[in-house]
């Protein structure tokens, strides 16, 4: 039984061998894409939602791969529950690393108090602005009541400064797993800084048993229309919730950020690229961009996001485009603008802006006309003419598969 935690912006994984259905695993690189977010040391941002930053100390190593993370009782840590902040005592046992992302790593962990298995995303101090920005969006989701198709955010914790605790060596043991990665991302971060998590942020999430949609497609090839419709329905419900109830766009919808539980439920994860969505009184939308990170992964970005000239304003339609790319991937096992899996990221970005979506190859002979019609509407270059999520839900392709 596969166990997957959200890898939150996972790097592309290369796998040897051939995909079932003669789909070359070389497509995995294009399906995964590369994150277009860029780190900036510019102005800091703080969470306005008021979630308490729990002061935690990393203490002793329990066994080879485990590390205890204990909260300082004097700080009165708080645990996030649906729509509330409830006092609690925190103690985590960090276990195996399960993935690396653009800004940090993800580990499995055991919550000693509740005995629940959780996922912990560790963000080094150099990314503290990005961490607080992501927490702000995660907290907005929870304050809106959360959603069954969105990974649940539980709480945030922070280690104390290394020099104040005897647990410095333990902190370094956690950080060793990310030091090389952090050094690459920050281009010259000192070895000492890279090997410690002094000032790091720990984001605690529910643990998901299942697999990424990315792995499902790479391992099994194209999905049936019934499977694709079921996943699309659940994803659209979650994203509409973000747009209409939370007031944000996800801005990084891709197969790696869609988790499939062992019970068949879809969970959207990774809000590291999310942005606020404002609506005027007359209903006009405006996405509030950030000077800290850029939207999502290039291969799944809408043309208006990639257009540096900024001809078209950014709206919630950018998430519709990404969902269209994901639907295309599910039905064909290939990326809509790199069907052979041979283009560079730059070439894919150019194709997104210049080429129309095509349905070439025998795999599309088995796909319905309704599905192709929906894809054309979701992958329309002009965001003003692109189909809306409500219209996606009412499209014959989704309504036909009940």
State the catalytic residues.
252
Please give the angle made by the CA atoms of 366, 369 and 373, to the nearest 5 degrees. 130
Query: What letter would DSSP give residue 293?
Result: -
Under a CB-based contact definition with an 8 Å cutoff, are residues 68 and 128 in contact? no
What is the spatial order of strands in the sheet that 285-288 belongs to?
248-249, 275-279, 285-288
- Measuring CA to CA, which residue among 75, 104, 141 is closest to residue 5? 104
What is the C-alpha to C-alpha distance for residues 178 and 34, in angstroms, rounded to an integer?
19
What is the C-alpha to C-alpha distance for residues 370 and 363, in angstroms, rounded to an integer?
15
- Measuring CA to CA, which residue among 192, 197, 194 is closest to residue 170? 197
Under a CB-based contact definition with an 8 Å cutoff, are residues 259 and 126 in contact? no
Token couple for 317: 């339609």
Helix (H) or strand (E) holding 161: none
Q: Residue 206 CB: number of other CB atoms within 10 A?
A: 16
Burial 20-53, CB ≥16 within 10 A → b, else e: eeebebebbbbbbbbbbbebeeeeebebeeebbb
Under a CB-based contact definition with an 8 Å cutoff, are residues 297 and 214 in contact? no
Task: Say whether 121 counts as a known binding-site residue.
Answer: yes
Per DSSP, the residues of 57-122 read: EEEEEEETTEEEEEE-GGG--EEEETTEEEE---EEEEEEEEEEBSS-EEEEEEETTT--EEEEEE
| Residue set of the binding site | 121
| Residue set of the binding site for ATP | 121
């Amino acid at each position: 039984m596969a166990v997957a935690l959200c890898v939150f912006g996972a790097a592309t994984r290369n796998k040897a061998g051939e995909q079932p259905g003669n789909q070359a695993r070389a497509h995995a690189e294009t399906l995964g894409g590369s994150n277009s977010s860029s780190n900036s040391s510019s102005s800091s941002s703080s969470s306005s939602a008021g979630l308490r930053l729990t002061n935690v100390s990393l203490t002793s190593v329990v066994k080879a791969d485990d590390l205890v993370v204990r909260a300082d009782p004097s700080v009165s840590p708080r645990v996030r529950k649906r729509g509330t902040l409830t006092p609690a005592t925190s103690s985590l046992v960090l276990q195996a690393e399960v993935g690396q992302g653009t800004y940090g790593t993800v580990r499995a962990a055991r919550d000693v108090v509740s005995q629940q298995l959780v996922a912990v995303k560790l963000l080094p101090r150099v990314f503290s602005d990005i961490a607080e920005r992501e927490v702000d969006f995660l907290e907005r989701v929870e304050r809106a009541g959360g959603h069954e198709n969105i990974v649940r955010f539980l709480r945030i914790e922070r280690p104390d400064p290394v020099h104040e605790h005897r647990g410095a060596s333990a902190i370094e043991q956690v950080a060793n797993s990310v030091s090389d990665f952090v050094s690459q991302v920050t281009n010259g971060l000192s070895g000492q800084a890279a090997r410690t998590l002094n000032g790091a942020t720990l984001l605690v999430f529910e643990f998901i048993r299942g697999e990424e949609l990315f792995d499902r497609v790479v391992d099994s090839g194209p999905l049936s229309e019934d499977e694709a419709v079921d996943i699309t329905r659940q994803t659209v419900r979650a994203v509409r919730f973000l747009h209409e109830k939370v007031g944000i766009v996800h801005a990084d919808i891709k197969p790696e950020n869609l988790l499939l539980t062992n019970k068949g439920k879809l969970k959207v994860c990774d809000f590291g690229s999310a942005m606020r969505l404002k609506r005027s009184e007359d209903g006009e939308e405006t996405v509030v961009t950030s000077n800290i990170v850029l939207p999502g992964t290039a291969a799944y970005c809408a043309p208006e996001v990639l257009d540096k000239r900024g001809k078209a304003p950014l709206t919630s339609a950018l998430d519709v485009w990404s969902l269209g790319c994901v639907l295309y991937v599910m039905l064909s096992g290939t990326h809509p603008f790199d069907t052979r899996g041979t283009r560079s990221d730059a070439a894919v970005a150019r194709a997104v802006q210049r080429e129309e979506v095509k349905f070439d190859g025998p795999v599309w002979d088995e796909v319905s006309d309704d599905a192709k019609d929906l894809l054309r509407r979701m992958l329309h270059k002009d965001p003003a003419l692109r189909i809306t999520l409500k219209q996606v839900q009412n499209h014959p392709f989704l309504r036909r598969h009940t």
